[in-house]
Structure 1
Amino acid sequence: MNRLVLATGNKKKVAELNAMLEGMNFKVMPQSDFLVESVAETGTTFVENAIIKARHAAKVTGLPAIADDSGLEVDALRGAPGVYSARFAGEDASDEDNVTKLLEELSFLPPVLRTARYWCVLVFMRHADDPTPIICQASWEGHIITERKGENGFGYDPVFFVPETACTAAELAPEEKNRLSHRAKALQQLIGLLQEIY
C-alpha cells in the first residue's frame, strides 16, 4: 500500500478525493494527520498554488504528495473569483459569504451572460525536490443561477447550474458529482498516470 499525503485541510475535499481513489493501492492521508500547517498560496494561477502546496506537504512529511487547487471562473468577471474563490468575500469568508458576493456582482446580468466553469488542477510530487511534478487539469462548464438550490457539495455548488444534468452541483448526489466534476476529470487523468508509475 503506497502512502500519499493530501495537501489540504478541507475535510470535504479529502472525503471527495478519498471516495474517488477507493480501490486503488493507495492510502491517502490528509496533511492534518502529520500536523502540517497550511502554506501561503502566493501563486497567481491554480498550477502555481497546487505546486506550492504539494511541495510543502512532501517536504514536511517525506511522503509523495497530491495537492489540489481549484476554483470558479466567471466569464463576465474576467475569470474572477479564480484563485481567490475561497476568499472572494474576504480572508475569512464562508462559502455563504462568497456565494452572496458572487450573486451581488452578477445581479445585473441576464442568464445568457452568466457562463462559468469550475477548474481543478491536481499536482503530484514524488518528493519535495521533484523536478517533473505531474500536473493534471480539467474544467466543468455551467452557469450561475440567481438563487441557491440544493444541499450537497460545498463552495459555489448551490448556484452552479450544470446543463448536462439540468440541476445545480449542490442538487447532485455525491456519487454523481464525483463522476462529472472538474475534480473527477482531473483525478481520472492523475489515476491513469499514477498506475503507470506504481
Structure 2
Amino acid sequence: MPFNHNDHYHPYLLRQVPPTARRALDVGCGTGRFARRLAARGLEVDGIDPSAEAIGVATALGGERITYRHADVTTCDLPPQEYDFISCLASLHHMPFSTVTRLRDALAPGGVLAVLGCAHPSAPRDWLPWLAAVPLNLVARAVVYAGERLNGGVDPLPTAPIRDWTTTMADVRRESAELLPGSTVRVVPFWRYVLLYHHP
C-alpha cells in the first residue's frame, strides 16, 4: 500500500498535543516516524514497541529527545502521571482494549491520550466515511505511486508488522465510555477511528 493511512493523520494528531506539553509516549512506535515528529515539536519522547526489528530501525534513524524501548506496553512499567501526551497509532488492536487504562494512568493531569485505531464497522454511520474514502484512496495511491517513480522508488525502510483485528466500532464505543469517561470516538476516512481522552 503506497499511501500510508496512518501517516495521513499525523498533522491532525499533532494538533491534539497540549500547548504546554513536555513529555510524550508513543505506543507501538514502529520505526519512529511519529515519535520523530513529536520530538521535532520540542517534546521529550519515549517510543515503545514489541518489535525488536522496528526498534532497531528507529534507533538507527536516531533523533534528538527520543528514547526507544523494546517492550510490551501491556506488561512493562509505566510511570504514573508522567506524560502530557500519549499516542497509539494503529496499535491498540494488537492488545486488549483495556490497555487504555494503563495509558490513562500514565497521563499527567491535563494530558491527552490520542488513539488512531482500526475496528470493523457496526452501523451505517461507520460505513459512510469509509465508503466515501474509496475513490480518495485510489487517487492518493496514484499520486504517491507517481511520486515514488519520479523519486527513485519506494521507501526501503521495513514496515511494522500488520495484524488483523476482531474489534468492532460498537466495542470501541462501549469500552471507551466505560474505561475512559468523557472520551470521544469518531470514525474518520481511510478505515480508521480517532479516540481522544483528556485527563481531568
> Normalising by structure 1, what TM-score?
0.29
Q: Which structure carries more relative contact order (alpha carbon 8 Å, separation 6+)?
A: 2
> Normalising by structure 2, what TM-score?
0.28
